[in-house]
Structure 1
């Protein structure tokens, strides 16, 4: 055989070596594909490194959260050695083009005497540093060790780089799967409705929050247009959102309305963002919706209370003025006027306080009867200028449940206020007759004004009228009769509502 032929034979691997190497790479690929975690990935890689490169010792190191290159898996390395060389790396974390380093004899490496002695003390004389990279960063390295000086053939170098590429891809894939699983769990456990669509508005993802908010199951919505949730008068809103997303815009929180499966509407706060692929192209739309029904109800309640406060303050000033005027006509001296006004304003304050008790509460239990409650509300108007009684109560009496006190007090207080401003209590000779009765398990309280100006029926509804309607709805109902002799109001109280 010529010298040329002999050289070629040394450079080219035998057929048996090629088959063995291919079998090693095939097993590695198969195990990496089926690996359930990083531990199995590292184990498969170490087997391949040792089998392909003819060594019984190898290790895998990764950058930790502090940027230190640390051991994560190894074969036949002592704990003392790992502690001594942990953190040693020829590359930095931010390096993008790290090249492998093959050290055929550690004595000739140029490393520090201490490091060389540490390596030799472990029985290692040759080693290789093979970088592990993801698609965008250096993530670590694997090492292979030999007990004697070793010349790395070209084929070994190629095998080392092939294993490193597969190991890097496997680590990156597992990290992506872990991140995706974590994000999926976060999305799935979110109370918010999180939905994804394609750029045409067809639903591609639908989390449990969306199921709870809209009442559609995942299988019902995947593949269907999101327009199914959009009220007819807001269809253009969705088209405008999709147009903005196709241009790469984000749509920050805004309030809108969507439809549930049963057709009912629900107010939501909505955020919309584009979904881009690796190249930056917009491939879909992400929507996060939050039910704001409770917040809107609380806001409406606050506004109602503020309006009620304003209404009460104005009424109290009007009633106080009426009390002063009615008292002045009968008072003989300023002191008598002051005494009378003070007594009536005190009675008014006590009646007003009754309307401030909460209908429910852990410790508030107000014991009063129906007649006593009516008397307390009308106490400021008990006597007219000539000291004749201004009201009379007849019929059944009964204990008033604590939950009934607030709505009934509000209703009676509003009736008394209107009577003092415009009705029978605004006239010196006017009065009110209240009759209480029981009919078919419901209590009827009839309020009849006499001796005052003829009532003027109006269709205008101010806050007082809305307050009457709201309070009456809690009790059962109220009916007005605009009798020319004086307005007649009839309150129906459904006792069963308060029996619990």
Structure 2
């Protein structure tokens, strides 16, 4: 080996790009059926996990390799047109590779130089970011829809501008708290306890008249947002008309969870006599439809001795 060849060999062996030379084998119809590894650098082995395969046919050490590898390298060998692509190799641990292939040497030898890098981790990061972006877009659409409905219905049902402003401010603050809570947990959701505490904290008195109990479990982002808004409405209405409007009333908020179901209950006691509203406002409608966001059912009852809210849903949320 000449000094120049030795320098190139040293360079090739030290770059973090897999490089190998393959000799293609075709059948009578010029369909690539196998290829022989003539040479390869250390990165070739490192990126593929294929050690000791130089001087062997691919069919010997990776008999289940996908057809696309043979077809692509075969076209390069036959036409001389380079190929650049990304492809997964299931027999190599489902690794993804970014690949360049070029014909080298005498065309009748059907030899192909293959340069590649393992992009499995990079691709997983990219797919994760795409998932986050899709979820952000989905939540932004929901955000706009809810805010539009919130403002239009509050204005429609408010007696005065001041009353409307106060109601809208409260609901937007509740929404903002829920968004802050879920901001760093968009994919995994949030545990129910911080969701509950964030929702009721502005309404909780020093003597803790909102009593909470229940075991920890994770809520999806969609469920956490819906529950946060519903609890805000329940607490706001309780302070205005219900158990929290006097000095002795209480709210019992409890939940249970197992492998199959989630059950959440809000029950007011000790407040003034409950008079059912003559019409359904936005708050009541929002509280009742929270069940749909849990893929379950919810019910709001204006019992004479105190408002009762109940929600029952499957343990596992849908993917939407």
TM range (shorter): 0.5 to 0.7
Residue ranges of structure 1 left out of the alignment (5+ in a row): 1-175, 360-368, 383-391, 399-403, 457-463, 465-479, 493-500
Which residue pairs with 1:335 in the alignment?
Answer: 162
- How many correspondences in the alignment? 255
Give yes or no for contact 1:190–1:209 (8 Å, CA) kept in 2.
Answer: yes
Give 3-state SS (helix, strand or coil) of 1:217's partner.
coil
1:312, CA displacement in angstroms?
1.9
Which residue pairs with 1:435 in the alignment?
Answer: 254
1:214 equivalent in alignment to 2:48:
yes
Which residue pairs with 1:244 in the alignment?
Answer: 76
1:452 equivalent in alignment to 2:294:
no
CA gap 1:341/1:251 in 2 versus in 1, 3 angstroms? same
Deviations 1:219-274 (CA, angstroms, capped at 9, x unpaired) = x4532226855856x41551352243144x1423211222344xx32221111122
Give the RMSD, CA atoms, in angstroms. Answer: 4.7
CA gap 1:418/1:336 in 2 versus in 1, 3 angstroms? closer
1:394 to 200, 206, 212: 212
How do residues 16-415 of structure 1 correspond to structure 2 at under 5 angstroms? 177-200=2-25, 201-218=35-52, 220-225=53-58, 229=62, 234-235=66-67, 237-247=69-79, 249-261=80-92, 264-276=93-105, 282=109, 284-324=111-151, 327-328=154-155, 331-357=158-184, 371-377=193-199, 394-395=212-213, 410=221, 412-415=223-226
Give 3-state SS (helix, strand or coil) of 2:198's partner.
helix
Give yes or no for contact 1:215–1:260 (8 Å, CA) kept in 2.
Answer: no
Give 3-state SS (helix, strand or coil) of 2:288's partner.
coil
1:437, CA displacement in angstroms?
6.4
Residues of 2 paired with 1:284 and 1:275: CA distance? 6
Deviations 1:419-453 (CA, angstroms, capped at 9, x unpaired) = 69xxx99xxx9xx98535699xx9x9744599836
Larger radius of gyration: 1
Give 3-state SS (helix, strand or coil) of 1:199's partner.
strand
1:356, CA displacement in angstroms?
2.0
Give yes or no for contact 2:40–2:54 (8 Å, CA) kept in 1.
Answer: yes
CA gap 1:314/1:271 in 2 versus in 1, 3 angstroms? same
Give yes or no for contact 1:205–1:222 (8 Å, CA) kept in 2.
Answer: yes
CA gap 1:311/1:378 in 2 versus in 1, 3 angstroms? farther
Residues of 1 paired with 2:255 and 2:288: CA distance? 22
1:328, CA displacement in angstroms?
4.1
Give 3-state SS (helix, strand or coil) of 2:24's partner.
coil
Give yes or no for contact 1:395–1:435 (8 Å, CA) kept in 2.
Answer: yes
1:320, CA displacement in angstroms?
1.8
Which structure has the higher relative contact order (CA within 8 Å, separation 6+)?
2
Which residue pairs with 1:50 in the alignment?
Answer: none
Residues of 2 paired with 1:340 and 1:411: CA distance? 23
Residues of 2 paired with 1:337 and 1:296: CA distance? 49
Residues of 1 paired with 2:14 and 2:127: CA distance? 30
CA gap 1:355/1:202 in 2 versus in 1, 3 angstroms? same
Give 3-state SS (helix, strand or coil) of 1:347's partner.
helix
1:333, CA displacement in angstroms?
0.8
Give yes or no for contact 1:241–1:251 (8 Å, CA) kept in 2.
Answer: no
Residues of 1 paired with 2:44 and 2:110: CA distance? 21
Give yes or no for contact 2:23–2:36 (8 Å, CA) kept in 1.
Answer: yes
CA gap 1:243/1:330 in 2 versus in 1, 3 angstroms? closer
Give yes or no for contact 1:269–1:290 (8 Å, CA) kept in 2.
Answer: yes
How do residues 443-482 of structure 1 correspond to structure 2 at under 5 angstroms? 446-447=263-264, 452=288, 482=296
CA gap 1:447/1:393 in 2 versus in 1, 3 angstroms? farther
Residues of 1 paired with 2:4 and 2:11: CA distance? 10
Deviations 1:74-124 (CA, angstroms, capped at 9, x unpaired) = xxxxxxxxxxxxxxxxxxxxxxxxxxxxxxxxxxxxxxxxxxxxxxxxxxx
1:338, CA displacement in angstroms?
1.3
